[in-house]
Amino acid sequence: MLRSLFVDFNSYFASVEQQLNPALRGRPVGVVPVMADTSCCIAASYEAKVLGIGTGTGVAEAKRLCPDIAIVLADHAKYVEVHHRAVAVVDSIAPVRQVLSIDEMECELTGRWQHRARAVALAERIKTELLTHVGECMRTSVGIAPNTLLAKLASNMQKPNGLTVIELHELPARLYELPPKAISGIGPRMVQRLARCGIHTMAELYAAPRELLRTAWGGVAGAEMYDKLRGQWYGPREKVAKSLGHSHVLPPDLRHPAGAFAVLNRLTQKAAMRLRKQNVYATSMSVHVRCRRGRAGHTGDERAAQVGETQDTAFLLHTLEQLWHSGLHLLPQPVMVGVQLHGLIEAGQHTGDLFGFDEATADAQAVTAPAGSLSARTAQGMAPLRDRRKLLATIDTLNGKHGKNTVYFASAQAGLDHAPMRIAFNRIPDLESER
Ligand SMILES: [Mg+2]
């Protein structure tokens, strides 16, 4: 039974650029977050990809491989606008069940559309309508399979302009030619964990018993993967994302510890604002730094901390500061940084501030956390939470009205005097949209 139809745009950012600027069509195009030879491509057109240029290729390297490559500055607003149009077009043909990223969406096939010939006809119609109504450069690869995991995998099997069907009876042999990392959710770290369990190939992954996958994944996610690989249907993700966050490739002039920290500070403020917008609370926070691979061999590092249940910018900035000074500040040549807030819970399940300075107690100025603990230290010198709530709401309103960085906390930017904020945040797209 075919139930999932997965649409993935080919070279999305580069295709949008080619669509909007005919001079770029048919040419190798690299999209960059910052105009500099030390920057790297966050997307490449198909013409560039055949020359070996892809996401992550440095601009200097791309120019060496292809001297007349067109290097284009990313314009996130354009990509978002085209995204909304594309979703509307697909949704007019088959209801879109979930949008997975800026260039990926899934439709659920029901009734007679679950039969192969009908599903393929539907996919062809979606492809044609996208070319007609969004643009002739907007090519897609479509995957059709019994569930989302397999349909996404199928969409990656033929590029560009692919249409691949995986039927239940073709499993698992049809996938044996692919490496396990072709599966969404099996990243470099998971590949290592699987290797430790003796799993290196797709055949070995399919041969592994459910319990072994549970061990490899360290929990129920492994058992779920076992079922998904066998085509079992599963629902879309929970409505509330379990985590949210941002990461940024640092522009060349901020590739030093102070610059990295300044960017992390902004990313934290942005993430905290999103918590409040979605009305969810974070229970833990992690910060990662990736470094240029040098002789020292540093590739980066990450730190995490529990934050109770919070959506408070000031508290998250203090946590950031502590995580940063626990060793991240010593990493040489940072090139990319990110902040993630995890374990999100909805406001309805929020149990008040675990550290004891929620509204009921904040005004009493009685911080009940043990002396020396993270919360006690960070609570020092902060306004009572009720006042901070009002302040945060005001900041969110101002930023919503006048642009993202109209007002922001400078509290954690001490020591950054030599690293002025020259970065124009709203012009640099989040890499998360590339996932
Ligand atoms: Mg894509």
Same domain? For 194 and 304 the reply is no
Check: pTM over 0.75? Answer yes or no. Answer: no
Percentages of the chain per state (helix, strand, coil), in multiples of 5: 45, 20, 35
Q: Are 265 and 287 in contact (CB under 8 A)?
A: no
Residue 405 lies in domain: 244-434
157 belongs to a structural domain: no
106 belongs to a structural domain: no
Same domain? For 287 and 222 the reply is no
105 bridge partner residues: 7, 99
293 belongs to a structural domain: yes
* Dist CA 335 CA 38 (whole Å): 10
Q: For residue 142, count CB atoms less than 10 angstroms from its CB and return exposed for 0-12, middle for 13-18, buried for 19 or more.
A: buried
Packing angle, helices 220-229 and 210-217, rounded to 10: 130
Same domain? For 257 and 373 the reply is yes
- List the CATH number of the domain containing 28: 3.40.1170.60
16 belongs to a structural domain: yes
Same domain? For 286 and 217 the reply is no
Instruction: Please give the average per-residue pLDDT across 294-316, as a whole number.
Output: 81
Q: Which of 411, 410, 357, 416 is nearest to 387 (CA)?
A: 357
pLDDT in tens, 341-369: 988 888 776 665 433 334 333 333 333 33
Instruction: Please give the average per-residue pLDDT across 105-128, as a whole number.
Output: 96
In 295-370, where do the E strands start and end? Answer: 300-310, 334-342, 345-346
Residue 152 scores a pLDDT above 80? yes
pLDDT of residue 43: 93
Max avg pLDDT among 7-21, 234-248, 358-372: 7-21
Same domain? For 289 and 351 the reply is yes
Q: Are 104 and 4 in contact (CB under 8 A)?
A: no
pLDDT in tens, 215-231: 999 888 899 999 999 99
pLDDT of residue 293: 73
74: CB partners within 8 A, 6+ apart: 13, 31, 32, 33, 42, 43, 427, 428, 429
Residue 433 scores a pLDDT above 90? no
Max avg pLDDT among 225-229, 303-307, 309-313: 225-229
pLDDT of residue 411: 46
pLDDT of residue 237: 57
Alpha helix locations (H) across 10-105? 12-20, 46-49, 59-65, 76-93
Q: Are 263 and 423 in contact (CB under 8 A)?
A: yes
- Count of the separate structural domains present in the chain: 3
Q: Are 103 and 9 in contact (CB under 8 A)?
A: yes
pLDDT of residue 428: 33
pLDDT of residue 308: 80
- For residue 360, report the distance from its CA to the centre of ligand 1, in Å: 49
131 belongs to a structural domain: no
Same domain? For 288 and 313 the reply is yes
Same domain? For 280 and 392 the reply is yes
Same domain? For 413 and 343 the reply is yes
Q: Are 283 and 275 in contact (CB under 8 A)?
A: no
Instruction: Please give the average per-residue pLDDT across 43-58, as a whole number.
Output: 94
Q: Which of 309, 305, 311, 307 is nearest to 278 (CA)?
A: 311
Task: Give the pLDDT band of residue 6 (cuts 50, 70, 90).
Answer: very high
Above pLDDT 70, what percent of the chain?
Answer: 80
Instruction: Report the relative pairing of strands 140-145 and 163-165 from DSSP bridges.
Output: parallel
pLDDT of residue 294: 63
Q: Residue 136 phi/psi, 5° resolution? A: -65, -15
Q: 416 or 309, which is more confident?
A: 309
Above pLDDT 90, what percent of the chain?
Answer: 57
Same domain? For 318 and 402 the reply is yes
* Dist CA 286 CA 435 (whole Å): 19
Q: 74 or 397, which is more confident?
A: 74
Active site residues per annotation: 104
Same domain? For 296 and 404 the reply is yes
384: CB partners within 8 A, 6+ apart: 357, 362, 363, 365
Same domain? For 268 and 297 the reply is yes
pLDDT of residue 117: 97
117 belongs to a structural domain: no
Residue 94 scores a pLDDT above 80? yes
Residue 90 scores a pLDDT above 80? yes
Q: Are 32 and 41 in contact (CB under 8 A)?
A: yes
Q: Which of 73, 100, 72, 75 is nearest to 86 (CA)?
A: 100
pLDDT of residue 194: 96
Q: Are 305 and 323 in contact (CB under 8 A)?
A: yes
End-of-domain residue from the set 78, 107, 134: 78
- For residue 8, report the distance from its CA to the centre of ligand 1, in Å: 5
Q: Which of 119, 256, 109, 104 is nearest to 184 (CA)?
A: 104
Burial 88-126 (b: 16+ CB within 10 A, else e): ebbeebbebbebbebbbbbbbbeeebbeeeebbebbeeb
Q: Are 2 and 108 in contact (CB under 8 A)?
A: no
* Dist CA 398 CA 402 (whole Å): 6
- For residue 37, report the distance from its CA to the centre of ligand 1, in Å: 25
End-of-domain residue from the set 78, 112, 127: 78
Q: Which of 249, 185, 245 is nearest to 56 (CA)?
A: 249
Task: Give the pLDDT band of residue 301 (cuts 50, 70, 90).
Answer: confident
**Per-residue three-class SS string for 322-343:** HHHCCCHHHCCCEEEEEEEEEC
Q: Kindly report which listed range (144-148, 168-172, 332-336) carries the lowest average pLDDT score.
A: 332-336
Average pLDDT, the chain: 83
pLDDT of residue 295: 59
Q: Which of 30, 22, 34, 8 is nearest to 336 (CA)?
A: 34
- For residue 385, report the distance from its CA to the centre of ligand 1, in Å: 43
Using DSSP's 3-state secondary structure scheme, residue 229 falls into helix
Residue 44 scores a pLDDT above 70? yes
User: Which helix (H) or strand (E) segment is 71 a member of?
Assistant: strand 70-73
Q: 92 or 435, which is more confident?
A: 92
363 belongs to a structural domain: yes
- For residue 140, report the distance from its CA to the centre of ligand 1, in Å: 8
Same domain? For 254 and 181 the reply is no
- List the CATH number of the domain containing 366: 3.30.1490.100
End-of-domain residue from the set 60, 78, 96: 78
- For residue 103, report the distance from its CA to the centre of ligand 1, in Å: 5
Instruction: Please give the average per-residue pLDDT across 224-248, as a whole number.
Output: 83
Q: Are 161 and 139 in contact (CB under 8 A)?
A: yes
Instruction: Please give the average per-residue pLDDT across 59-73, as a whole number.
Output: 96
- List the CATH number of the domain containing 231: 1.10.150
* Dist CA 57 CA 286 (whole Å): 27
